[in-house]
Each structure stands twice: as structure tokens, then as C-alpha cells.
Structure 1
Amino acid sequence: SAALTVVVHGRGGHAATPHLAVDPVVTAAAVIGRLQTVVAREAAPAEQLTLTVGTVHAGTAVNIIPDTAELGIGLRALTDDTLDRALAAVDRIVRAECAASACPRDPDLTVLSRSPALHGDPAATNAVRAAHTALYGPARVTVWPPSLAAEDFALYGDAGRDLHGETGIPLVYWMLGTTSPREWAATNGTNIPPNHSPHFAPAIRTALPAAITALTAAALDRLSGRQDTA
């Protein structure tokens, strides 16, 4: 995943004389619309990629055309190659729209953070899944499909060797359900607010004990010596 900011530079002015200004809000709106084609037209249908314009900031009053408009953009992909191409597309589109709007200066694009794709170790993952299945039963443990949920956990493994100096660290990552059995039964598992929703409310009394025992079971399995035969 990657997070970046884009600052579009216009020329401020009064709303009564827009012809004397270069409106960065209009340019930013064009950028937002055009960015939607990165996923729809520049990524293969089977290639998982998302692009989200999560923040838009511009202006201080309704009668003032501002000097700048700022966008916060998030990109998520399953491979570094896909992410590289998406970042290049964002750069190209932003610069082209600013040129088309006759912006007085080039836009500023700043990558704030970037995390590598996380790939769990197959043997360790199978062993931990078996430990969780033994603890909770097969009905409560399933295989999670590839996800674009971003996580810097990959840096604990080989991707972070420049940080910690180690290689060959097996990684295991799992998802935890936080919906209570009562809510799940009442909704049949549909329309449940996801994380980051303002209505997201984990069932702490059931989720927290499950999280603690899942982590404990995984740690005991890894520390028991069975990892050599997993």
C-alpha cells in the first residue's frame, strides 16, 4: 500500500472574477474523476488494486477562489509491480490535469508512506491454522482470501531486513471476527459495519478473549518445537 498527498497550485482570486484566477478546486475535481480510470482501465480485471481519494482540502470562504487544493490518496495492491504502475499513473494524471488547467506551477506529489505486500509463510500458516482449528473447531476457522487491507506487518519479515538485519523470519497473519453471535444471527452476516465505519462496534466481551487465546495458541505452537516439522 502507499499513501500520498497531492497539492494542486492555482491562482487565488475573487469568486466574482473567476477569469482572473486559476481555480485549483476545479482542477482537483478533474484529477479525482480521472484517477478512477487507473483501476477501471489501467489494471487488468484479475489484478487487485484500489485507489481512494480519502481527503480533499481547499478554500476558506465561499467567495474566494483558493490558491491551492490538497488531496490525500491511498493505493492498495497485492504486488509491488502493480503498486509501482499505479503510482506512476497517479503522477502522470495529476501533472496532465494541472497542465490542462494552466496551473501556474507544477503540482507537489509526496509519498507519505509505503508498505510492501505481506505474504505469509505457508508452512507456519498451516501450523497456526491447525492450532486455531483445534482450539475453536473447524466451523469457526476458515481460509481468508487475499485482501487489500494494508498492514506494515511485512516489515517484520524479509521486507524489513534493512531495519532489523534478519532474514528468513516466517510470518503468519490472521483476521479476527469481532461480531457477536447474536448480531451475526440477527443480520445473517450482512450489513455489518466494517472497521473504520462510524458505526463499527466490536463485541469486546467475545472478541477480546478470542483474540487473546488465538495469539496464545499461535505462540505456544511456534514455541513448542513443532515448527521444525510444520
Structure 2
Amino acid sequence: MTELSPTGRSTVHRGKKRAGTDRTDLHSILDEGVICHLGMQVDGSPRVLPTAFARLGETLYLHGSTGARSLREGIEEAEVCASVTLLDGIVYSRSAFHHSANYRSAVIHGRPREVSAPEEKWQALRAVTEHLAPGSWEHARQPDRRELAATAVLALSLDEASVKIRTGGPGDDEEDIAAGDAWAGVLPLHSSWGEPEPSPDLADGFPVPEHVRARQ
């Protein structure tokens, strides 16, 4: 087990008992999440954007367009924050105050760097593609020079990160339990992929690739 090393801003203060300390928890949340939310300051105002990403080792790679102002702000080495949350269920309690959610979340702080080295950028884009749509890097046409030039990739170290995890049932007060006036428990959330929907301009009879069906 490799432990997280909290800093002042990555230390969990509210709900300390839910704070994760194992770096493998951080990795598993990032590897299971599909989209992260990237937060930064633009002209002194906060901005949060859904962003495609992938983890390679202890680095989070963030994907975007070179034309996007938010990514340009990040490339200029502003401090950013990236977060991923996995919702596992809703916790129903006997009182409205104690309603909650079971979840796993990761928050990463840091100063990103632009990925400009061709080999690292290629590997990062491959990782982002495979994280979002496994099997697609080899199946689809890979980026050409124009597309590479139009794509921005930021690298964010996982050195400064926090993890929070909630599991289990409601934490009701003893008097509410004794009263027995309301149902309490957990409604689990299970996500699944649906049936693939072919593009309207796809040739008739074109089979769905195995790497797409494998996600069902």
C-alpha cells in the first residue's frame, strides 16, 4: 500500500472518517471514472468543465482543443483542480437531515504542464482514447498532423490528491429508529451500457466490432 500524502488543501476536514489514505483507492476511482471535471480561474471567475482524461502511472492527462480558452488558461500554468465522482447509491434515512449518498470521489490539485513532446503526447492521446472507448485506438484512424496540432494535452501530477468514500446504510438518530415511522435503507445505483446504435451513414450490414460489444 502506498499512502496519499495530504497537503493543506488536499486534507479532508469535513467527514474525516471517509477520507481515503491508500493511493490504490485514488487509482481505482480515476480508472473507473469516464469524465472528470476540471476547475480553474478564467478572468478571475471560476470555471468548471467536463473533460476527457486518462491516468498513466502517477500522471493525469487531460484532453481538449487548442482553441478552447479554458485549456489555454491551463497551459499557461494556472493552478487547477480536477475531480471525479462515482455515485454508488442513495441513502434513505428516517429523517431528511440524514439522507445521503454512497460514493467514491477523488480531487487532484496542481499546476499542469503542456504536453509538447511528440512521443508523450501520442501516448497520452492513446491513453485518453482507450480510457473513453477501449479498443478504438487500433480500430479507428489515428490522429494526423492537423488533428494533433488542434489538440491540447495537459499533464497533472497526482502528488496532491484527496479521496473520500462513503459506504453503508443510514446514520439515523436513536429516537428516529425507535419511532419506526419511515423506511430507511440504500437504493444502489448500477450503470450499464445499452445496445450499440450504428451511425446512419454506416454501410448496411457493417458488424458492431467486438471491442464495442465487449462493454455491454
TM range (shorter): under 0.3
Determine which structure has the larger strand proportion and give its number: 2
Q: TM-score, normalised by structure 2?
A: 0.26
Q: Which has the higher contact order (CA 8 A, sep 6+)?
A: 2
- Compare CA radii of gyration and give the structure with the larger one: 1
Q: TM-score, normalised by structure 1?
A: 0.25
